[in-house]
A and B are shown apart, each in its own frame.
Chain A
């Protein structure tokens, strides 16, 4: 496994972490969740962040997703320093630059698929007519063009996660951030969602996927291993056998 730094061109870098640390303070108790994490992701890369429970990968995901800010170090996303941004500015960055895919899907049960997909566009001030057009296009993109009026309860788990992927795509974000996207899916649906990610990667999307499953991480080109709040390994997942990859595709 190689940990050698890969030379990235500045203009193709989507995100860059430099010496990022995160300390949680609960009264007098201080917990250091991340310690001096530095990494870069280039445009079009498909990166999996892997680590066991408590390794700090969720904290890293929150910082990458601008849901939380680091206590030290800097984080540049799409050329902007987001580590010192205000809450409102962060909301704006999340809206424009990041598409989230969650383990729990987090779809609103009362709304049909297309209304769920258009939700991020509501917050960026896109007009109603255009929102619907773009939502339907995104749903078609994930193969659910015939399910736009179905509510989440009327869709299978895999389909719900595809709606969530459509929602992540609809704003045309710089980064798609998937937090354990297959954690609640059976193996068939998992493969389904992962092949969707592979397609998106092929179209030039930048994807960062957080997982603790080796098989899922194996679908990515590059795997960043996190252990005890630090980057442990960075590079191709050596243990991912060609056969296991094939079965996932």
Chain B
């Protein structure tokens, strides 16, 4: 009996027990769909986080004040005091000290109320340098960014995020308009492109001013040179680790501390990504594990039904053997039958999974990204489950002696 024949026989056997076969397949179907969706949800969440972190710019190192790496005693936690200054930024910007650093953008931020005419809008005001634009990989839709000269002069100019601009000026052109920040009249010279919002900050709702302007005119505290974050762009992806070393060395030197007592933290996009996706991954593994168990139960269902089928069809097996079926042929017939059950369940599971991937985001507000290879993988898993579940029943059928099989009532 050739393979085509065997498959046809298996399909006939499955079709002749429609209800039971569908219920058996349901186990595999639900398992496959559940695994696909949980993996898809996990991948979707990770992709979302990755996008947000990549949005920060490329080849980026982020230095924040304070240290969370306590080895002895209690030290200032992250953000408890601003230990970074504009001097640090100037030192790092030097080509001699740090040849692998392309650009440095110090950032100082604070929440401020912006007033334009009768309209009031509270947003994040960011004091920075002209390098902010390339480092954060942003561009302008209108106007221009502030110049080094304006930075030197602490000029009263600002670049607004698109959301901020529309909140303050509605449909009107914001360019050239005046905004009052903390009592200072500031002219709008540019509008940022739209970047979308990350989980923590709305990248489209902010007002950028020269760092000097922020320190001297806007900030309420007297610390004109204090900054909250340093964005450092390495010259290339390859020099990222060299840039990291240089940053660390330089900052330790300017702060006059040892590595063990560092009062700053350097993180890369990669480390941010790792931290941010770690919880997502744990959750995905957990959920996929539960889904895999349901798949396993589905597999046991296939094995169970195949055993029942062998017992029920004991006379048929005996007859087939009497008519010339070898043990191998009988084993193959039942193996193929179990595989077809697994495979059909798998195909339907993939269909359900793909439908779920389209429908689920509307209810969960979470993207579902099903990797292109997941379908093939799921199909393979379903097939393997069918085969594994079929081995024992099939070998039982193959071992039956034809006389015993024919005799049974």
Given contacts A91-B326, A95-B324, A120-B324, contact A125 B2 (CB under 8 A): yes
Please give the distance in Å from A175's CB to the nearest CB on chain B: 13
- Residues in A with CB closer than 8 Å to B5 are 122
Is the CB–CB distance between A123 and B403 below 8 Å? Answer: no
Q: Which of A92, A102, A104, A110 contacts B324 (CB 8 A)?
A: A92
Interface residues as binary, A99-135 with B (CB distance below 8 Å gives 1, 0 otherwise): 0101010101011000000011011110000000000
Interface segment, one of B26-34, B64-72, B158-166, B312-320: B312-320
Instruction: Report chain A residues within 8 Å CB of B403.
Output: 62, 67-68
CA distance A122 to B2 in the complex (A): 8
Question: Which residue, of B12, B329, B402, has the highest number of chain A Cβ atoms within 10 A?
Answer: B402
Q: Which residues of A contact B325 (CB under 8 A)?
A: 91, 123
* Contact assessment for A100 and B316 in the assembled complex, using a CB-CB cutoff below 8 Å: no
Residue-by-residue, is B313-346 near A (CB-CB < 8 Å gives 1, otherwise 0)? 0011011111111111100000000000000000
Bound: A120/B2 CA distance, A: 13
In the complex, what residues of A have CB within 8 A of residue B257's CB? none
Q: How far is the CB of A68 from chain B (nearest CB, A)?
A: 6
Residues of A within 8 A of B320 (CB): 119, 123
- Interface magnitude class on chain B: 20 to 34
> Helix, strand, loop or mixed for chain B's interface?
helix
| Nearest chain A residue, comparing its CB with the CB of B324 | A95
Chain A min CB distance to B405 (Å): 10
CA distance A84 to B327 in the complex (A): 17
How many chain A residues touch B (Cβ–Cβ < 8 Å)? 25
Residue of B nearest to A100 (CB): B322
CA distance A87 to B324 in the complex (A): 10
Report yes or no: A110 in contact with B12, Cβ–Cβ below 8 A.
yes
Instruction: Knowing A67-B403, A88-B328, A123-B1, say if A95 contacts B12 (CB, 8 Å).
Output: no
The interface bits of chain A over 80-99 (1 if a CB of B lies within 8 angstroms of the residue's CB, else 0) are 00000001100110111000
Of A87, A110, A122, the contact of B1 (CB 8 Å cutoff): A122
Residues of B within 8 A of A100 (CB): 322-323
Which of A91, A100, A106, A108 has the most B CB atoms < 10 Å from its CB? A91
> Which B residues are in CB contact (< 8 Å) with A70?
none
Cβ–Cβ contact B316 & A108, under 8 A: yes
Give the nearest-CB partner of B15 in chain A. Answer: A110
Residues of A within 8 A of B (CB): 62, 65, 67-68, 87-88, 91-92, 94-96, 100, 102, 104, 106, 108, 110-111, 119-120, 122-125, 167
Instruction: Show 24 A/B contacts (Cβ-Cβ < 8 Å), sorted by A.
Output: A62-B403, A67-B322, A67-B402, A68-B401, A87-B326, A88-B328, A91-B321, A91-B324, A92-B324, A92-B326, A95-B323, A95-B324, A96-B324, A100-B323, A104-B315, A106-B319, A108-B319, A110-B12, A111-B12, A119-B320, A120-B323, A120-B324, A122-B5, A123-B329
